[in-house]
Structure 1
Amino acid sequence: MADLPLALALGAGMLAAVNPCGFALLPAYLSLLVLGDDSPGRSVAVGRALTATAAMTVGFAALFGVFGLAVQPVAGQVQQHLPWFTLVFGALLAAAGVRVLAGRRLPGMTPQLKRAPKVTRSLPSMALFGAAYATASLGCTIAPFLAIVVSAFRSGSAAGGMVLFVAYAAGMGLVVGAASLAVALTRSTAVPRLRRLGAIAPRLGGALLLLVGAYVAHYGWYELRVQDDPATADPVIDTAGAVQRALADALDAAGPAVIAALVALLLLVTLLIRRRGRTGRRVRADEPGAPERPV
């Protein structure tokens, strides 16, 4: 496998995380890591961020894989109807935000049990969120995915296509993972401040869901209008597009190596913080007057 296609697949996956159709969903995902009901330590928060990122990446990659391989022969016809899903999905997301703003919880997909993890941050929910993220992003990202990954499968190189597919998913996971780790490491500082807001804190997540859902739905409506008139202009989409292009340009300039190094650095910081915490607890336990540790 040549290095160039592999680098292209990895870079395309990174840019897929901040594509014009679905990049607004990334803040909504990160808010789930911040606005939880508990206050875990940094190491626990980092572990949750990594597992949630993995689940979300799996859902994202699975949707792209199914669509790319199964729908590729009629991708052009299916792509014409994708804006309708984007519009409906955005409307549902906005409705969920309104529900949270009203002080009500989102309905769970499983029965609520005592001490059970919140459904909004469970691995199946994160995988479904990743699949929804991918579906909202299909209209903007399916063309490079088909050109880079699916073409390798169609050329008869199943192994090569699988390598490119994994690289594409890894690129997306790198970007989401770096953002998730950064949020997890700063969560212990942000959460106490949010706690002071009391009942307002959960509603911040609802307001973010409402804004994100409204944007996604608006983007789906914009895509439908563009199908009828390619010259259609929209100030909301133009403004958001400028932000998205800045993010995409920054990721493109950084490259996979820099993002991977950033993830490694964040993990190293987590290990150092965890070791420092253990050392501090050991010193306090050895201080005069401290309770004796059981033998």
Structure 2
Amino acid sequence: MLGAVNPCGFALLPAYLSLLVAGKSDTRGAVGRALTAAAGLTVGYVLVFGAFGLALAPLAGWLRPRLPWLTVALGVLLLVAGCWLLAGRRLPAPGWSARAPRLTRSWPSMALFGAAYALASLGCAIAPFLAIVVTSLQAGSTGQGLALFGAYALGMGLVVTVAALGVALLRDGLVARLRVAGALVPRLSGLVLVLAGGYVAWYGWYELRLAAGNRDALHDPVIQAAAQVQRALADALDRIGPAVLLAALATLLLAALLTKRAHRPTCGGGGGLDIGKRSSESV
């Protein structure tokens, strides 16, 4: 759970939520989009950690000094995407086919974002992963090591799923009540992306300055202020624990189910005319 808010990559959590809600939305698809995006991000994240821990650990000495450059590049890309949304444009839908369902298109893009999330987080979060999961696997305890790896994936996935569901339902509820919100949400998402991308790029530059022996970087006011926010998030997750997050997930899923039933069209009367109208329009 704490891996989702590690010091290196915690700013990517609001960036991920911004990408999730920036596109077009409908009430029926909110839960599906959130769950698919959370699953894709989690898979991408834990696959990178697993590959690094099991296969690339011998290359850690060569990779570690180059990771900050990747962090800077990722931050700049998010910054550009945020400016694009602030300009009133929409991000292109990734995927291999324009006819692919929206949920299918979001899976590979979120898996790639999860991999980028993991790469940006390696510098801060790989040490406990290596010490607990990989050490257990290398000691011959395959079953225990796989169980620990699964627990790590579930903890990360639980945090991002609860966040995704909460934001998706809040977004759709806001759009349903405020006509102007439909135009504002993408721009607000763009603003969050600009802030998150700017911080991620700045953090990569901070790491590069530290690696170059610049001791003044230790007193960077941006990093110090963000570190206080990150510690507060980590402490809150530590106090909450997985049981409360699971209860929150169940509550959000129940709320989504009740909302879907409340908006389900009824047969007969105006509902039947509306269905016929939609059918003729689709033809």
- Scaled to the shorter chain, the TM-score interval is 0.7 to 0.9
Measured after TM superposition, the shift of residue 193 of structure 1 is: 6.7
Equivalent residues in 2 for 1:214-225, closer than 5 Å = 214-225=198-209
Measured after TM superposition, the shift of residue 117 of structure 1 is: 3.0
Please give the root-mean-square deviation of Cα atoms over the aligned residues, in Å. Answer: 2.9
Contact 1:94 1:210 in 2 (8 A): yes
Aligned-partner SS, 2:118: helix
Identity %: 58
**Distance across 1 between alignment mates of 2:90 and 2:271:** 43
Once the two structures are superposed, residues 16-68 of structure 1 have per-residue CA deviations (whole angstroms, 9 ceiling, x without a partner) of: 1111111111111112232222x311x42012101110111001111111111
Contact 2:21 2:186 in 1 (8 A): no
- Give the unaligned 5+ runs of structure 1: 1-13
Candidates 34, 55, 72, aligned match of 2:57: 72
Alignment correspondent of 2:37 = 52
**Distance across 2 between alignment mates of 1:197 and 1:166:** 39
Alignment correspondent of 2:168 = 184
**Distance across 2 between alignment mates of 1:90 and 1:263:** 30
**Distance across 1 between alignment mates of 2:59 and 2:172:** 48
**Distance across 2 between alignment mates of 1:116 and 1:16:** 31
Aligned length: 273
Alignment correspondent of 1:226 = 210
AA aligned to 2:84 is: R
The answer as to 2:257 corresponding to 1:271 is yes
Change (3 A) 1:217 1:269: same
Equivalent residues in 2 for 1:44-193, closer than 5 Å = 44-106=29-91, 109-110=94-95, 113=98, 117=102, 122-192=106-176
**Distance across 2 between alignment mates of 1:274 and 1:200:** 24
Change (3 A) 1:210 1:118: farther
Once the two structures are superposed, residues 255-281 of structure 1 have per-residue CA deviations (whole angstroms, 9 ceiling, x without a partner) of: 111111211121122223334444xx4
| TM-score normalised by length of structure 2 | 0.85
Contact 1:34 1:191 in 2 (8 A): no
AA aligned to 2:74 is: F
**Distance across 1 between alignment mates of 2:89 and 2:262:** 40
- From the two aligned structures, give the one with the greater helix fraction: 2
Alignment correspondent of 1:254 = 240
